[in-house]
Amino acid sequence: MSIAPIEPIGEPALGGPLSARRTSLGNELLFALIVAAAVAALGAPVGLLWSVVAPKVELVQTDFGPYPVDGEPEGYWADDGWFIIIALVTGAVVAVAAWLVFRRQRGAIMLGGLVIGSAAASVLAAWLGNKIGYAHYLDLVEHAPKDTRILRPVKLRTGESSLLFGFIPWVRGTMLIQALAAAAVYTGLAGFHASPTLRYETMPAEYLDPAPAAAQPHPQGFAGPAGPVLGPPPPAGDPEQR
């Protein structure tokens, strides 16, 4: 007679559901951080693109400093308009890319990584776009002769970023557009997904089509020429009586 080994009480078995869940959570956090860093780095090319496509406000040097050539320049608001357009497109693109590439990490954690990375990208884009040509602009403002035409670098007027209590980063205004676009697109894709877990391999059984039932043998039946026939087989005897 053999006795089954007794497992110690209170110690979870290795590789159990809890361990698997912790591994899955750590995997999702890792990939969310990677996505956040990659999206934040996109702020550099976005800022360069914004600086190129947004119209510049043209100033003219006077005895009292530079003044706009146009009495009511639209370039001040065009800077914000172009920034919003680029942010909307970028947010939608990164959300779709994250949805398609990181299929096994879909969920709220990945959404958080997209939002944080997009907010950081907007901060970087706004800062870099303004700094491109800014030193040359200041030099012309200080030393350019009268009637010199000066192009003002792009500047975001409806967005702001700072540190709360000196160490907590926060953004508001236009700098949140990319994050809002990424969140809206990613959430929309999740809302139309067939599985509540957002992954086909972990789709609950009740969401799957029921498997066809296997053919069961008929009780008290026998196999005839045309298939299973109900009832007991006919008695042996005269073929005419069968």
Boundaries of every domain in the chain: 27-191
User: Residue 1 half-sphere exposure, CB side, CA atoms within 13 Å?
Assistant: 1
Percent of the chain with pLDDT over 70: 69
pLDDT at 3: 53
Over the chain, what HEC string results?
CCCCCCCCCCCCCCCCHHHHHHHHHHHHHHHHHHHHHHHHHCHHHHHHHHHHHCCCEEEEEECCEEEECCCCCCHHHHHHHHHHHHHHHHHHHHHHHHHHHCHHHCCHHHHHHHHHHHHHHHHHHHHHHHHCCHHHHHHHHHHCCCCCEEEECCCCCCEEEEEECCCEEEEEEHHHHHHHHHHHHHHHHHHCCCCCCCCHHHCCHHHCCCCCCCCCCCCCEEEECCEEEECCCCCCCCHHHC
pLDDT at 76: 78
> Residue 184 pLDDT more than 80?
yes
The encoded tokens of residue 176 equal 């949140």
Poorest-confidence range of 69-83, 86-100, 185-199, 203-217?
Answer: 203-217
194 conformational bin, left if phi > 0, alpha if psi -120 to 50, beta if neither: alpha
Poorest-confidence range of 13-27, 61-75, 133-147?
Answer: 13-27
The model's pLDDT over 120-175, given as tens digits with 9 standing for 90+, comes to 999 999 999 999 988 988 888 888 888 888 888 999 988 888 877 777 888 889 99
Whole-model pTM over 0.75: no
Residue in 100, 76, 121, 94 with CA at minimum distance from that of residue 183: 94
Considering 9-13, 108-112, 160-164, 190-194, the range whose residues carry the highest mean pLDDT is: 108-112
pLDDT band at 203 (very low <50, low <70, confident <90, very high): low
Q: What's the gap between Cα 237 and its chain centre? A: 79
> Residue 28 pLDDT more than 50?
yes
Which long-range contacts link 194-200 to residues 24+ away (Cβ below 8 Å)? 198/106, 198/107, 199/103, 199/104, 199/106
Poorest-confidence range of 36-50, 177-191, 215-229?
Answer: 215-229
More confidently predicted of 163 and 4: 163
Residues with Cβ < 8 Å from 137, sequence gap 6 or more? 150, 151, 152, 153
Q: How far apart are the first and last CA of the chain?
A: 57
Q: What is the chain's mean pLDDT, rounded?
A: 79
